[in-house]
């Protein structure tokens, strides 16, 4: 699945903040639109951040479905 598709799916459930420090380390913070729960991920590669966030979303959806 492409990063754009993953990002679109993430934006349906979360508000997203993406920032980068001076060393090139990016931080992606997810804020759940319904519960306001926050989760942050850090990495130097954008694609890795999206993959981690998408994986987190799938785990959360699976947990709530049970």
User: What are the domain boundaries of the chain?
Assistant: 3-59
Per-residue confidence (pLDDT) for residue 1, from 0 to 100: 86
pLDDT tens for each residue of 2-47: 999 999 999 999 999 999 999 999 999 999 999 999 999 999 999 9
The better pLDDT of the pair 60, 1 is held by 60
Q: For 3-59, which CATH class?
A: alpha beta
> Both tokens of residue 34?
């319904």
What is the pLDDT at residue 65? 84
Task: List, in sequence order, every beta strand (DSSP E) within 1-66.
Answer: 14-20, 26-32, 38-43
Token pair for residue 23?
Answer: 């060393």
Residue 66 pLDDT > 80 = no
Residue 3 in tokens: 């990063």
Q: Are 58 and 50 in contact (CB under 8 A)?
A: no
Global pTM value? 0.91
């Amino acid at each position: 699945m492409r990063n754009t598709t993953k990002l679109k799916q993430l934006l349906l459930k979360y508000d997203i903040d993406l920032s980068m420090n001076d060393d090139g380390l990016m931080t992606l913070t997810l804020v759940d639109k319904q519960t306001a729960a926050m989760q942050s991920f850090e990495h130097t590669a954008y694609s890795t951040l999206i993959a981690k966030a998408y994986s987190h979303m799938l785990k959360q959806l699976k947990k709530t479905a049970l």
